[in-house]
Amino acid sequence: MNITAQEAKELMDTQQGYVILDVRAQEEYDQGHIPGAIVIPHEEITEKAEAVLQDKNQLILVYCRSGRRSKIAADALVELGYTNIKEFGGILDWPYEVAP
């Protein structure tokens, strides 16, 4: 379930049909995020995930700022029945492109 930023980038470069999930607050997302990421704040995962992330077998790559909230969100997604969650920590450790 836990992967490195490098492993996440490799999946992004080689896979299709995945979702990059930013679980920070909307304001944090607006200040910069991984290109293509969608935002669902970690405290809203339980209420909003199933409406937004309809395929529970889809590859979902989860990150936050430092790694604490992404771990909480990834655990919540597993409890909701999602089967392909990869949590790769925080954007602070992301050495690649960030979108404004």
Instruction: For 29-46, write each residue's pLDDT tens digit.
Output: 999 999 999 999 999 999
Q: How confident is the model at residue 99 (pLDDT cuts 50, 70, 90)?
A: very high
Q: Which sequence positions are flagged as catalytic?
A: 64
Residue in the structure block whose two tokens are 């395929």 = 55
Which CATH code fits 5-93?
3.40.250.10
| H helix or E strand, kind and range, residue 88 | strand 85-90
Q: Are 61 and 4 in contact (CB under 8 A)?
A: no
| pLDDT at res. 42 | 97
> Would you kindly state where each structural domain of the chain is located, as residue ranges?
5-93
- Residue type for position 14: T
pTM recorded for the entire structure: 0.97
Burial class (CB in 10 A: 0-12, 13-18, 19+), 48: exposed
99: tokens are: 């979108």
Query: Residue with structure tokens 């935002």?
Result: 39
